[in-house]
Structure 1
Amino acid sequence: MREPVRTPAGERLSSIMLDLFRLNSGLLTSGDRLVEGLGLTSARWQILGAIRAAERPQPVAWIARDLGANRQNVQRIVNDLANDALVRFEANPHHRRAQLVVLTDAGRQAFEAAMRLQAPWVNRLAEGVTVTEIKAAHRVMMKLQANLDEMDEAADTD
């Protein structure tokens, strides 16, 4: 049986995947260190950001979908945030069991403090990279994500 042949783009993408995984791990580790003094982790910070960015309160399943994350993992983190009074649950008029997640004042303050720390950190991280290069990388990431979503949808219908 013949091995499938990669296209030149597929070959190049395959060769950078390990670097992307390493970058993601480094971003999470650095983010954890950055917000540790606030009682946050990268994961908690990410969830607070998703809640803050939403136009209206959402249930955990919607937050997980928006982040492309596993619902059970998001639920665990949201429960931890609720235990620390950074979020609270409110009744959902559209679904009895899927409560809405809302930032508390303490949660908003923690997120804003994290973002104040993030500004100099991200500026330092971006040193030596042009805005044009960052925009090009973003376009590529979004196209890869769209392709992955399309592949996942096709697999779900099979």
Structure 2
Amino acid sequence: MNDVDRPLPPDELAGRLTAVYDLVGPLYRRAQRSVEQGLTADGLSVGVRAVLTLLHGNGPMTVPQMGRAQAISRQFVQRMVNDAAAQGLVESIPNPAHRRSSLIRLAPRGRAVVTAVLEREHRLLREVGGDLTDAEVTTCVRVLGELLKALDHVDLD
């Protein structure tokens, strides 16, 4: 195993991961601004878009499940679900596993809207350069996943 493939000692790892965090913040803020600009035409907020995307990828979910999946508070998710429901984008259905916590699913209009948003974003992401390889993207996803797991203990409510 060469030095590049060897796990880093904790202090060195911490320094390298700081560089990752330093990039993630500006990346997130720029992506959010870009998404907001694209969503304005659809009349969606970033929060409603997040709910629609989550339901699109996972099928019906409860508000607490969505909060955990997105690492955001239940209360915020509930407000976004309420906004989406008011626009006819989602609907509540009975949850056979839990009578007091309904499942939220995409309404037909919500499915059409989120599909259009995701297609537009896909077209934009096709423009990313850098000759990135599958291995590089896989490594990036792994690193970000480990950083997210390290923060799992943070209470959101």
Q: Which residue of 114, 117, 125 maps to 1:111?
A: 114
Number of aligned positions between the proteins: 145
Q: Secondary structure in 1 aligned to 2:92?
A: strand
Q: How does 1:122-133 map to 2 (within 5 A)?
A: 122-124=125-127, 126-131=128-133, 132-133=135-136
Deviation for aligned residue 1:115 = 1.5
Gaps of 5+ in 1: 1-5
Q: Which position in structure 2 is the counterpart of 1:53?
A: 57
Deviation for aligned residue 1:23 = 1.1
Cα displacement string for residues 60-102 of structure 1 (whole angstroms, at most 9, x for unaligned residues): 1111112222111111100000000100111223333211101
Alignment RMSD, CA only?
Answer: 2.0
Q: How does 1:3-152 map to 2 (within 5 A)?
A: 7-55=11-59, 57-124=60-127, 126-131=128-133, 132-149=135-152, 152=153
Q: Secondary structure in 1 aligned to 2:117?
A: helix
Distance 1:48 1:116 in 2: 14
Greater per-residue helix proportion: 1
Letter in 2 for 1:127: G
Once structures 1 and 2 are overlaid, which stretch shifts more, 74-83 or 27-36? 27-36
Once structures 1 and 2 are overlaid, which stretch shifts more, 108-117 or 131-140? 131-140
Gaps of 5+ in 2: 1-9
TM-score (ref. length: structure 1) = 0.81
- Percent identity, aligned pairs only? 26
Q: Secondary structure in 1 aligned to 2:126?
A: helix
TM-score (ref. length: structure 2) = 0.82
Letter in 1 for 2:141: H
